[in-house]
Structure 1
Amino acid sequence: MSSRKPIPEPGERKLPRRPASELAEKWTRIDGVDVFYRESPNPTKDERVMAHVHGFGLSGRYLLPTAERLADEFHTYVPDLPGFGRSGKRRDMLDIPDLARAAVDFFDDRGVEKATLVGNSMGCPVIIEFAHRYPERIDRAVLVSPAGGLFNQPLRRAIKQLSQDAPREPVKMARVAVPDYVRFGVPSTMKMFRSLTQYPSLQRLLEMRIPTLVVLGQRDPLLPHAHRVDEIASQTDSHVLVVMLEGAAHAINFSHPGQLAHVIRHFMDDLPIENDPAWPGHVRLYEVHRGKHHPPAQPRG
Structure 2
Amino acid sequence: MTRRRQGRPWNVVPENTSDDPYDAYLNWASKRQEAATMPTAAEYSDRRRRRRSPRHPASALAERWTVVDDVDVFYRESPEPPAAPVMMHLHGFGLSGRYLLPTAERLRDEFHILVPDLPGFGRSGRPSEPLDVPELAHAATRFLDDRGIERATLVGNSMGCPIICEFAHNHPERIDRAILVSPAGGLHNQPLRRAVGQLARDGTREPPRMMRVAAPDYVRFGVPSTVRMFRALTRYPSLDRLLALEIPTLVVIGDRDPLMPGPDRIREVASLTDNHVLVVVMEGAAHAINFSNPGELAHVIRLFMADQPIVDDPDSPGFTRAYEIHRGTLHPAPKAPPDGAAPAG
Q: Shorter-chain-normalised TM-score: which range? A: over 0.9
- Asked if the contact 1:6–1:34 (Cα under 8 Å) also holds between the matched residues in 2, the reply is no
- Asked if the contact 1:121–1:146 (Cα under 8 Å) also holds between the matched residues in 2, the reply is yes
TM-score, normalised by the number of residues in structure 1: 0.95
Q: CA deviation at 1:236?
A: 2.8
1:1-301 aligned at under 5 Å gives the runs: 6-8=46-48, 16-44=54-82, 46-281=83-318, 283-299=320-336, 300=338
**Structure 1 residues without counterparts, runs of 5 or longer:** none
List 4+ stretches of structure 1 deviating above 4 A: 2-5
How well do the aligned residues superpose, as a CA RMSD in angstroms?
1.7
Q: CA deviation at 1:235?
A: 2.2
TM-score, normalised by the number of residues in structure 2: 0.83
Distance 1:77 1:276 in 2: 24
Q: Secondary structure at the match of 2:60?
A: coil
Q: Secondary structure at the match of 1:241?
A: strand
Rg comparison, structure with higher value? 2
Q: CA deviation at 1:91?
A: 1.3
Q: Secondary structure at the match of 1:28?
A: strand
Closer/same/farther in 2, CA of residues 177 and 103 from structure 1, 3 Å limit? same
- Asked if the contact 1:4–1:27 (Cα under 8 Å) also holds between the matched residues in 2, the reply is no
Closer/same/farther in 2, CA of residues 4 and 287 from structure 1, 3 Å limit? farther
Distance 1:267 1:172 in 2: 29
Q: Which amino acid counterpart does residue 283 of structure 2 have in structure 1?
A: E
Q: CA deviation at 1:4?
A: 9.2
Q: CA deviation at 1:7?
A: 3.3
Distance 2:53 2:313 in 1: 38
Distance 1:269 1:242 in 2: 16
Closer/same/farther in 2, CA of residues 186 and 47 from structure 1, 3 Å limit? same
Q: Which amino acid counterpart does residue 205 of structure 1 have in structure 2?
A: L
- Asked if the contact 2:95–2:214 (Cα under 8 Å) also holds between the matched residues in 1, the reply is yes
Report percent identity of matched pairs. 67
Aligned residues: 296
**Of the two structures, which has the highest relative contact order with CA contacts closer than 8 Å and spacing of 6 or more?**
1
Q: Which amino acid counterpart does residue 193 of structure 1 have in structure 2?
A: F
Q: Which amino acid counterpart does residue 220 of structure 1 have in structure 2?
A: D
Closer/same/farther in 2, CA of residues 5 and 274 from structure 1, 3 Å limit? farther
**Structure 2 residues without counterparts, runs of 5 or longer:** 1-41, 340-345
